[in-house]
Amino acid sequence: AQSVTQLDSQVPVFEEAPVELRCNYSSSVSVYLFWYVQYPNQGLQLLLKYLSGSTLVKGINGFEAEFNKSQTSFHLRKPSVHISDTAEYFCAVSETARLGGFQKLVFGTGTRLLVSP
Amino acid sequence: EPEVTQTPSHQVTQMGQEVILRCVPISNHLYFYWYRQILGQKVEFLVSFYNNEISEKSEIFDDQFSVERPDGSNFTLKIRSTKLEDSAMYFCASWPGPISYRNLYGYTFGSGTRLTVV
């Protein structure tokens, strides 16, 4: 079974500063990795995903993440945040397909990014 | 861009009542999912559905829950007798399925239905 750990429940940061949101996972098999963002009172929006290939993945809104297999990590980064990036960020993992379909997503507990002026 | 549509956006129901949450997945998707998020907690998997049958379900998905794809476009989650602890945001998701798409797509989530049981 997989599990996802997001150690930071809340990350306060000033506008235009860089940020890193940490995600570590545990799995006995190969996985796909995802970051989702949830703005207040909204649904889940995919920021980026790692399925295979280059370990540095670029997503929407200037975010990127790096898959590190040896450290079982998939940290999310942005070089300069905006007020509008204030949201809850969820890391998620899925086993690679057995029959060609995604397995269930297992989510971390989320990290609330608070960007202040 | 194609969307997963969920209705209603907010539903209030009395404890013990049956409730049906509706989802319209993206039209060429083959795998369907329900997740829930209790307020302030993480998103949890409930059930996955493929080829008109449940492919996996969590321990949360007990006999009070059922899913159906009644007409080839809608995907519904029914809770037979709601409890206070069923209050949560319920998310529907879909995925295209064929392995040739896996490098292009991830899940697509709907915007959710907030269920409040009073």
Contacts of A46 in chain B (CB under 8 A): 106-109
Q: pLDDT at position A30, please?
A: 82
More confident residue, A100 or B44: B44
Region A28-47: mean pLDDT is 87
More confident residue, A35 or B99: A35
> Which class would CATH give B5-117?
mainly beta
The per-type count for chain A, helices as H runs and strands as E runs, is: 0, 12
Contacts of B33 in chain A (CB under 8 A): 104-105
pLDDT digits (tens, 9 = 90+) for B49-106: 988 999 889 999 999 999 999 887 899 999 999 999 999 999 999 988 755 555 455 6
Min Cα separation A12/chain B (Å): 18
* Domain interval for residue A45: 3-116
CATH, residue A44? 2.60.40.10
Report which of B36, B14, B11, B12 is spatially closest to residue B83, judged by C-alpha positions: B14
- The single-letter DSSP state of residue B100 is G
Q: Total structural domains in chain A?
A: 1
Min Cα separation B20/chain A (Å): 19
Q: How many CB pairs under 8 A join A and B?
A: 65
Chain A contact for B91, CB < 8 A? yes
pLDDT digits (tens, 9 = 90+) for A38-90: 988 778 888 998 988 889 999 999 999 999 999 999 999 999 999 999 999 99
Q: Which residues contact A47 (CB under 8 A, 6 or more apart)?
A: A34, A35, A36, A37, A59, A60, A61, A63, A76, A89
CB-based contact A72:A26 (threshold 8 Å) = yes
Chain A contact for B51, CB < 8 A? no
Mean residue pLDDT across chain A: 90
Min Cα separation A38/chain B (Å): 10
Q: pLDDT at position B103, please?
A: 45
Please report, to the nearest 10 degrees, the dihedral formed by the alpha carbons of residues A114, A91, B77, B94 taken in order.
120
